[in-house]
């Protein structure tokens, strides 16, 4: 058996699945409540803003406002599901519940655990994002065949935001710090990234800021797919999201190592 | 001893946390098939040593080899054949006993089918046959500890690392664990255990290392340590002023230790000690064979707290 140069990197291509399985088993026990919890917020936003504001706004970019908003809500719900899973549930397993400590005494490495948690959080993002997507499609705001493009984009969004939140929990001494991330990073991102109104409504400096934010790239992938429009610069958006997924993975694993295994 | 017969070898291991030295120039080795104890009070560095052996903490200096693998660089390969009972239970409280074994077996790349096949014998070993479908949160402390032990056996380990396996258990639960550990030793497993409980060390360990503030202060077989450091009966005297008593019995003992309100007299002629104190009101005397507690008191000047 050959061993990587670092004892904390993932040991192989499948060890992470044991962590995913553990989380799946725990989730199955509370699945109904968990699904409702993940869907209530984006549904409320979709219908509340979509119908309410839709009356005032009318059409955006040539589509009804609610159709425009639907893609934003799909991306946002994926972001929120992955972020909250990581901030609260993963933090508990890493810190208070000592789940990671138990796993670290098996043949899994820290990297295997972080990877398993990322894939798990992304799975919850897929569930949440796809559910909103389906509601939108039933209402006629998404083209059914485009699910083939939308789901991978939702999954990538989930991995990105789980990975970013992983940095937050690797640094945070306690739960109390997460609210800063929510209010200072996530909420502004929703408004800056074209989820609820078109980016060209922003002053041009903010447009430049927005163009590098991960949620903007997700929206740029998901919205054209849902509205059945040709998407531009797919390679650019996917590459940007991959960078946002991979770099935080290595960074947070390194920080976790210092925190948990010094 | 050659390397292949060694389960664990530490050479010159040091570890400091933020400038505070927690493990200092520690060397010892554990042969395959033996039960080796790390005996020391709280804060002696026992947990840190077990975590270094598992590759969960990196030493600042020194070499560690476990089951032939250099640690921490290749600790993962050693952990494939190690079972761990940590100091604090980290079971899945919302899972049933059976689900705990399932989840843990998966961490060793076992299939659900393999784990199901192993589960009955593990539950029987842990005396938890009737608890398979019970949530762990509903188990007693002793049952949780036995489940942790069963969980540690899921990968059929050569080596078991147990950090204070019976701390906090009542005597009945503790004896049950000891009996289970003896069964594992009879099956040829190697055990490294930490304890601050000298009776546990004396009953189970073939050899042990006494630690104080991260340093090794004695090492050997329990009886040899007792013979070498004490080698005579002990009379414990309570209920008087230890200073006055020292003067009175001093000439008749090899040495004495005062700990709290108790005077420990080590004497090859305990009858003389008793005769000296006969007639003094309010004194209570207890004569007994020496144990590891006395060794600890002798080499450190302090009692091992429980
Ligand atoms: N991660 C850590 N950071 C800082 N200090 C630590 C850490 N782990 C242990 N220590 C300190 O190291 C000393 C030894 O601890 P430990 O190994 O837990 O001893 P024991 O298990 O014998 O009670 C204690 O003083 C403890 O406070
Ligand atoms: Mg300890």
Residue A6 counted as domain residue: no
Identify the domain boundary among B204, B226, B248. Answer: B226
Q: For residues B16 and B144, state if they share a domain.
A: yes
Q: How confident is the model at residue A3 (pLDDT cuts 50, 70, 90)?
A: very low
Phi, psi of B214, rounded to the nearest 5 degrees: 80, -5
Question: Got the DSSP string for B176-204?
Answer: HHHHHHHHHHHTT-EEEEEES-HHHHHHH
CA-nearest of A95, A108, A72 to A172 is A95
Total count of domains within chain B: 2
Residue B306 counted as domain residue: no
Contacts of residue A17 in chain B, CB cutoff 8 Å? 106
**Residues in chain B, pLDDT under 50:** 1, 306
Ligand 1 centroid – CA B43 distance (Å)? 6
| CA of A26 vs chain B CAs: smallest distance (Å) | 8
Edge-first strand order for the sheet with B190-195 is B82-85, B159-163, B190-195, B35-39, B207-212, B215-220
* Contact predicate A16/A119, CB 8 Å: yes
Give the DSSP H/E element, type plus range, for residue B287: strand B284-288
Longest Cα–Cα distance of chain B, Å, equals 73
Token readout for B76 is 């993962």
Contacts of residue A260 in chain B, CB cutoff 8 Å? 56
**A61 in helix, strand or coil?**
coil
Q: For residues B145 and B284, state if they share a domain.
A: no
CA-nearest of B219, B238, B222, B193 to B293 is B222
Domain of B247: which CATH number? 3.30.70.860
Edge-first strand order for the sheet with B20-31 is B20-31, B6-17, B61-66, B69-71
**Of all atoms in ligand 1, which is nearest to the CA of residue B51?**
17
Chain B residues at the A interface, defined by Cβ less than 8 Å, are 17, 54-58, 72-77, 79-80, 82, 84, 86, 88, 90-95, 99, 102-104, 106-109, 155
Q: List pLDDT tens digits, range B24-74.
A: 999 999 999 999 999 999 999 999 999 999 999 999 999 999 999 999 999
Tell me if B50 CB under 6 Å of ligand 1: no
Token readout for B206 is 């073939």
Residue B170 counted as domain residue: yes
Task: Tell me what pLDDT residue B217 has.
Answer: 92
Supply the pTM of this predicted model: 0.92
Task: Tell me what pLDDT residue B281 has.
Answer: 76
Token readout for B1 is 């001893």
Residue A163 counted as domain residue: yes
pLDDT of A2 > 70? The answer is no
Q: List pLDDT tens digits, range A93-145.
A: 999 999 999 999 999 999 999 999 999 999 999 999 999 999 899 988 888 99
Q: For residues B274 and B172, state if they share a domain.
A: no
Residue B303 counted as domain residue: no
**A80 in helix, strand or coil?**
helix
Residue of chain A nearest B148, judged by CA positions? A102
Token readout for B35 is 């039960």
Contacts of A78 (CB under 8 A, 6+ apart): A125, A126, A128, A129, A154, A157, A158, A161, A218
Cis-peptide, bond into residue B269, ω within 30° of zero? no
Q: For residues B174 and B258, state if they share a domain.
A: no
Task: Tell me what pLDDT residue A163 has.
Answer: 98
Tell me if B195 CB under 6 Å of ligand 1: no
Identify the domain boundary among B226, B257, B272. Answer: B226
**How many C-beta neighbours within 10 Å does residue A39 have?**
17
For helices A204-212 and A214-227, the axis angle rounded to 10 degrees is 90
pLDDT of A52 > 90? The answer is no
* Contact predicate B108/B80, CB 8 Å: yes
Token readout for A100 is 């990671």
Residue B300 counted as domain residue: no
Q: For residues B95 and B204, state if they share a domain.
A: yes
Tell me if B111 CB under 6 Å of ligand 1: no
Q: For residues B103 and B246, state if they share a domain.
A: no
Ligand number nearest CA of B211 is: 1
| CA of A29 vs chain B CAs: smallest distance (Å) | 9
Task: Tell me what pLDDT residue B306 has.
Answer: 39
Structural domain for B128, as ranges: 3-226
Binary contact (A22, B91; C-beta < 8 A):
no
Phi, psi of B257, rounded to the nearest 5 degrees: -135, 140
**Helices marked H in chain B — which ranges?**
46-53, 75-79, 97-106, 112-125, 141-152, 171-186, 198-204, 222-229, 242-249, 270-277, 292-300
Q: For residues B195 and B273, state if they share a domain.
A: no
Q: For residues B238 and B166, state if they share a domain.
A: no
Beta strands per DSSP E along chain A: 59-60, 63-64
Lowest mean pLDDT among A58-72, A80-94, A174-188: A58-72
| ipTM field | 0.91
Q: For residues B88 and B177, state if they share a domain.
A: yes
Total count of domains within chain A: 1
CB pairs under 8 A between A and B: 75
Q: For residues B81 and B152, state if they share a domain.
A: yes
Residue B302 counted as domain residue: no
**How many C-beta neighbours within 10 Å does residue B3 have?**
9
**Of all atoms in ligand 1, which is nearest to the CA of residue B38?**
22
Question: Got the DSSP string for A108-148?
Answer: --HHHHHHHHHHHHHHHHHHHHHHHHHHHHHTTSS-GGGHH
Q: How confident is the model at residue A260 (pLDDT cuts 50, 70, 90)?
A: very high
pLDDT of A33 > 90? The answer is no
Tell me if B58 CB under 6 Å of ligand 1: no
Token readout for B56 is 């969960």
Mean pLDDT of A239-259: 96
Binary contact (A14, B109; C-beta < 8 A):
yes
Q: List pLDDT tens digits, range B197-218.
A: 888 999 999 999 999 999 999 9
Q: For residues B82 and B163, state if they share a domain.
A: yes
* Contact predicate B38/B216, CB 8 Å: no
Residue A207 counted as domain residue: yes
Which one is predicted more confidently, A1 or A240? A240
Q: Report CA-CA distances (Å) from B302 to A28, B89, B217, B254, B267.
A: 53, 29, 13, 18, 19
Domain of B67: which CATH number? 3.40.50.300
Residue A2 counted as domain residue: no
Question: How far, in Å, CA of A35 to CA of A37, rounded?
Answer: 5
Give nearest CA residue, ligand 1 atom 8.
Answer: B48
**Of all atoms in ligand 1, which is nearest to the CA of residue B50?**
17
Residue of chain B nearest A6, judged by CA positions? B73
Tell me if B205 CB under 6 Å of ligand 1: no
Question: How far, in Å, CA of A167 to CA of A157, rounded?
Answer: 16
Binary contact (B80, A22; C-beta < 8 A):
no
pLDDT of A1 > 70? The answer is no
Q: For residues B108 and B47, state if they share a domain.
A: yes
């Amino acid at each position: 058996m050959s061993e990587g140069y670092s004892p904390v990197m993932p040991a192989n291509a499948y060890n992470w699945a044991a962590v995913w399985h553990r989380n799946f088993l725990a989730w199955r026990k509370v699945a109904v409540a968990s699904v409702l919890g993940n869907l209530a917020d984006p549904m409320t936003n979709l219908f509340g803003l979509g119908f309410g504001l839709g009356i005032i706004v009318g059409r955006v970019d040539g589509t009804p406002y609610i159709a425009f908003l639907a893609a934003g809500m799909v991306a946002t719900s994926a972001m929120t599901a992955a972020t909250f899973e990581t901030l609260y549930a993963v933090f508990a397993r890493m810190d208070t519940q000592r789940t990671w400590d138990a796993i670290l005494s098996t043949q899994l490495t820290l990297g295997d655990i972080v990877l398993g948690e990322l894939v798990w959080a992304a799975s919850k993002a897929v569930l949440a994002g796809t559910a909103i997507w389906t509601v939108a499609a039933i209402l006629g705001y998404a083209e059914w065949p485009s699910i083939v493009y939308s789901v991978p984009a939702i999954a990538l969004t989930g991995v990105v935001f789980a990975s970013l939140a992983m940095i937050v929990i690797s640094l945070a001494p306690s739960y109390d710090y997460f609210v800063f991330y929510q209010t200072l990073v996530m909420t502004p991102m929703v408004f800056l990234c074209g989820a609820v109104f078109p980016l060209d409504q922003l002053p041009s400096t903010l447009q430049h800021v927005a163009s590098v934010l991960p949620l903007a790239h997700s929206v740029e992938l998901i919205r054209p797919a849902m509205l059945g429009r040709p998407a531009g610069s797919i390679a650019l958006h996917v590459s940007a999201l991959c960078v946002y997924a991979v770099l935080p993975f290595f960074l947070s694993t390194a920080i976790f190592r210092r925190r948990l295994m010094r | 001893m050659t390397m292949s017969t060694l389960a664990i070898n530490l050479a010159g291991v040091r570890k400091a946390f933020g400038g505070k030295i927690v493990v200092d120039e520690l060397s010892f080795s554990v042969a395959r098939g033996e039960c080796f104890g790390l005996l020391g009070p709280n804060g002696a560095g026992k947990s840190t040593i077990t975590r270094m052996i598992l590759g969960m903490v990196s030493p600042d200096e020194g070499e560690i080899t476990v089951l032939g693998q250099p640690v921490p660089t290749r600790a993962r390969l050693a952990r494939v054949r190690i079972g761990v009972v940590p100091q604090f239970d980290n079971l899945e409280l919302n899972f049933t006993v059976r689900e705990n074994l399932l989840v843990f077996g998966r961490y060793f790349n076992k299939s659900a089918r393999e784990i199901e096949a192993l589960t009955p014998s593990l539950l029987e070993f842990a005396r938890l046959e009737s608890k398979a479908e019970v949530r762990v949160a509903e188990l007693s402390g002793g049952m949780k500890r036995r489940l942790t032990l069963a969980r540690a056996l899921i990968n059929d380990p050569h080596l078991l690392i147990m950090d204070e396996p019976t701390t906090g258990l009542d005597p009945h639960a503790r004896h049950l664990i000891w009996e289970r550990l003896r069964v594992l030793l009879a099956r040829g497993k190697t055990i490294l255990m930490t304890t601050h409980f000298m009776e546990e060390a004396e009953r189970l360990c073939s050899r042990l290392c006494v630690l104080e503030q991260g340093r090794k202060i004695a090492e050997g077989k329990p009886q040899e340590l007792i013979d070498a450091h004490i080698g005579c009966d002990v009379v414990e005297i309570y209920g008087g002023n230890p200073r006055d008593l020292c003067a009175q019995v001093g000439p008749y003992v090899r040495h004495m230790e005062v700990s709290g309100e108790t005077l420990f007299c080590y004497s090859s002629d305990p009858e003389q000690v008793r005769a000296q104190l006969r007639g003094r009101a309010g004194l209570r005397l207890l004569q007994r064979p020496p144990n590891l507690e006395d060794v600890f008191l002798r080499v450190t000047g302090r009692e091992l707290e429980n």
